[in-house]
Amino acid sequence: MKLGNLILIGLFLVFIGIQFVPTELPSVESNNPEDIIQSGIVNEEVAGILKTSCYSCHSNETNYPWYSYMAPSSWLVAKDVREGRKELNFSTWQENDMIKKLGYLDDISSVIDDESMPMGIYTLMHPSAKLTEEQRELIVAWAEDAMDLVVEEDEEDWEEEG
């Protein structure tokens, strides 16, 4: 047998073998009453963009494509979703205090404006998640306006308590 054929057989066996390495994808939850969209600070157009371009990594509503069940891509998907949710989870938005929410909105504005989100590798695999310049401007403007709404909401909460 030629060396090239042996290498291909070896790679195939390794690929089959790694399928048995367990990968636990983060759980998916569709009932998220603390979600940012439920908060009242997101209009329908922005909600649609967030769902399409952000929610698979930054919410509990991850939509796992076929390749996320096959190693080694499953390892990368699981890692990215865990890190994305740790950084910002839209599904737990209302559990955060005002300062945290303001920080998230500022971060959203920055990463969308400098085009570091959504990640290039994600939009390569999910072209519909790639934001147009108009969508970027809309998200940045929304995030900046939403900061005022978060402050107003917090002031109302203080007035009700006081």
pLDDT tens per residue, range 110-121: 999 999 999 999
Residue 23 pLDDT exceeds 90: no
The pLDDT assigned to 17 comes to 67
User: What's the whole-number mean pLDDT along residues 37-43?
Assistant: 95
Tell me the C-alpha distance between 122 and 67, whole Å: 13
Q: What mean pLDDT value characterizes the chain?
A: 90
Q: Quote the Cα angle for 156-37-59, to 5°.
A: 120
Q: Are 55 and 62 in contact (CB under 8 A)?
A: yes
Tell me the C-alpha distance between 110 and 53, whole Å: 16
Tell me the C-alpha distance between 111 and 20, whole Å: 37
Single-letter amino acid, residue 16: I
Cβ-count burial of 31 within 10 angstroms (0-12 exposed, 13-18 middle, 19+ buried)? exposed
User: What's the whole-number mean pLDDT along residues 53-80?
Assistant: 93
Residue 18 pLDDT exceeds 70: no
More confident site: 5 or 40: 40
40-56 burial string, b = 16+ CB within 10 Å, else e?
ebbeeebbebbbbbbbb
A 10 A CB-CB count for 36 gives 28
Give tens-digit pLDDT for 72-104. 889 899 999 999 999 999 999 999 999 999 999
The pLDDT assigned to 70 comes to 86
What total of structural domains would you count in the chain? Answer: 1
Q: Are 62 and 28 in contact (CB under 8 A)?
A: yes
Residue 161 pLDDT exceeds 70: no
pLDDT level of residue 157 (50, 70, 90 thresholds): low
Q: What is the 3-state secondary structure (H, E, C) of 28-94?
A: CCCCCCCCHHHHCCCCHHHHHHHHHHCHHHHCCCCCCCHHHHCCCHHHHHHHHHHHHHHHCCHHHHH
Residue 105: give the domain boundaries.
Answer: 3-161
Q: Of 4-8, 47-51, 56-60, which gets the smallest average pLDDT?
A: 4-8
The pLDDT assigned to 158 comes to 63
